[in-house]
């Protein structure tokens, strides 16, 4: 059954007051927020209010009323039958998604139970429930430093659009959309291979097109070291932090990403690598194509092996994770699992997705994007969060949403966030 068929079936049962299980209610809450179901939802709401014979203004008004009524009913607590330790709590919601607003779901899972939190998407016009702190911290933006082959540095957010410099036979250009690009120049004699490095600070992201046309989006607190022209049999770059790659296909010249002793090899594909040094694993997630994840040494030695402890080949939707506690080597275990690709790519798409992570992992994401220090005081609950919020809002809105559980509290002091029970 397709997701749209499932959505229609659950929605019709819901409207007809047929009994839904707690799991089905929660599933419907997610599906009703999926913009891919918008047309079907409009149709069912129109049918509910017989809008086929109404004028446009009346139709819009009735659709809005219908959606508000449905959304209010969906938030009615549903007793959980699977576990006596599970409690459903509904917070005051801001306006739901699509043209009226967006609804975000945050799930806080504690050792003693789970709380479903409904909050509005801050990208839509909203009414603040709490005053914005005077010392609020704004989100990050496009910020990066380009280090040229001679060691000179260019602060990219301050640089004018146009040519930034000549690196051997390649011209470095900042385009009108703010991205960095490398363009081959004619009538220039190739020189020895030159390398550039682009680094993003905490609170920064940047987008660069490499000399072969491959595109890379760097997340905050990350760096990419690469040649200004790809010569030889391979295209190799070195990454720290996190980046999303869309690699140009070239079967004769594989593209390799090196990170902390690990190597990802592709011919042409879309994938994300998260390898922050303060995380426990390096995670490679494949969106399209095929990649091979293994140790850099075995790749250099061209060691052919079928031992999955040494290398694995991913299919779209899969993620390979290797320990980051010590530098990756051929004997390090590689764990492969299917993941929610949308959650992995949330950072690139302007979202903060919690994806079941604990409070410490969530706060590391917040610290990197908002360029803040985090301090923990007291006995912090073993909390895990699901759901998300726009990354284009002040940090207070993110913290306010998380704080609605009553189990976690935050204080902003300068550029420090203090977390307390």
Please state, in angstroms and rounded to a whole number, the distance separating the CA atoms of residues 410 and 316: 38
The tens place of each residue's pLDDT in the chain, 421 residues long, gives 677 778 788 777 777 767 767 566 666 766 766 667 767 777 776 665 544 334 444 444 444 555 555 555 554 544 433 333 322 223 233 333 333 333 333 444 433 233 333 333 333 332 334 455 667 899 999 999 999 999 999 999 999 999 998 888 889 999 988 889 998 887 666 668 899 999 999 999 999 999 999 999 999 999 999 999 998 899 999 999 999 999 999 988 999 999 988 889 987 799 999 999 999 889 999 999 999 998 655 444 554 443 334 688 999 999 999 887 555 455 667 889 999 999 999 999 999 988 888 899 999 999 999 999 999 999 988 878 877 888 999 999 899 888 876 778 999 999 999 999 8
Task: Label residues 70-98 b or e (16+ Cβ within 10 Å = b).
Answer: bbeebbeebebeeeeebebeebebbbbbb
Q: Which CATH number is associated with domain 141-344?
A: 2.60.120.1440
Pairing of strands 162-167, 170-174: antiparallel
Instruction: Please list the residue range(s) of the chain that carry CATH number 2.60.120.1440.
Output: 141-344
374-377: list long-range contacts, CB under 8 Å, 24+ apart. Answer: 374/416, 374/417, 374/419, 375/416, 375/417, 375/418, 375/419, 376/418, 376/419, 376/420, 377/418, 377/419, 377/420
User: Other C-beta atoms within 10 Å of 348: how many?
Assistant: 17
Which tokens hold the place of 420?
Answer: 């307390």
| Conformation bin of residue 165: beta by default, left when phi > 0, alpha when psi is -120 to 50 | left
Q: How far is CA 362 from CA 49, 279, 368, in A?
A: 42, 11, 10
Burial of 233 (0-12, 13-18, 19+ CB in 10 A): exposed
First to last CA, the chain: 43
Cβ pair 145, 156 in contact under 8 A? yes
Determine the pLDDT at residue 385. 81
Which tokens hold the place of 317?
Answer: 């939707």
Determine the pLDDT at residue 222. 97
pTM of the model: 0.67
Determine the pLDDT at residue 207. 94
């Amino acid at each position: 059954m397709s997701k749209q068929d499932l959505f229609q079936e659950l929605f019709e049962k819901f409207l007809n007051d047929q009994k839904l299980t707690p799991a089905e209610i929660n599933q419907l809450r997610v599906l009703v927020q999926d913009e891919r179901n918008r047309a079907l939802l409009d149709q069912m709401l129109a049918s509910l209010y017989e809008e086929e014979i109404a004028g446009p203004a009346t139709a819009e008004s009735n659709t809005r009323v219908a959606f508000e009524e449905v959304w209010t009913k969906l938030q009615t607590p549903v007793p959980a039958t699977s576990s006596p330790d599970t409690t459903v709590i509904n917070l005051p919601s801001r306006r739901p998604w699509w043209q009226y607003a967006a609804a975000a779901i945050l799930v806080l899972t504690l050792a003693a139970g789970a709380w479903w939190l409904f909050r509005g998407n801050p990208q839509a016009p909203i009414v603040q429930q709490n005053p914005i702190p005077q010392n609020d911290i704004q989100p990050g933006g496009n910020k990066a430093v380009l280090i040229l082959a001679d060691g000179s540095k260019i602060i990219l957010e301050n640089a004018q659009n146009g040519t930034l410099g000549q690196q051997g036979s390649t011209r470095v250009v900042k385009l009108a959309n703010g991205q960095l690009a490398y363009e081959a120049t004619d009538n220039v004699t190739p020189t020895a291979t030159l390398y550039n490095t682009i680094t993003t600070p905490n609170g920064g992201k940047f987008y660069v097109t490499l000399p072969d046309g491959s595109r890379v989006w760097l997340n905050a607190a990350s760096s990419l070291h690469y040649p200004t022209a790809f010569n030889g049999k391979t295209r190799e770059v070195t990454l720290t932090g996190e980046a999303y790659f869309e690699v140009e296909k070239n079967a004769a010249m594989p593209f390799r990403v090196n990170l902390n002793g690990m190597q990802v090899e592709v011919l042409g594909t879309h994938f994300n690598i998260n390898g922050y040094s303060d995380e426990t694993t390096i995670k490679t997630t494949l969106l399209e194509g095929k990649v091979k994840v293994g140790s850099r040494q075995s790749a250099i030695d061209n060691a052919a092996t079928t031992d999955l402890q040494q290398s694995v080949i991913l299919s779209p939707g899969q993620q390979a994770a290797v320990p980051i506690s010590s530098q990756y080597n051929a004997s390090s275990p590689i764990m492969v699992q299917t993941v929610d690709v949308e959650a992995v790519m949330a950072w690139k798409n302007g979202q903060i997705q919690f994806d079941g992570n604990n409070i410490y992992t969530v706060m590391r994401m917040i610290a990197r994007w908002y360029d803040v220090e985090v301090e923990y005081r007291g006995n912090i609950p073993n909390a895990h969060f699901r759901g998300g919020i726009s990354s284009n809002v002040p940090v207070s809105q993110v913290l306010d949403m998380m704080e609605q559980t009553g189990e976690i509290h935050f204080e902003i002091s300068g550029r420090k966030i203090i977390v307390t029970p």
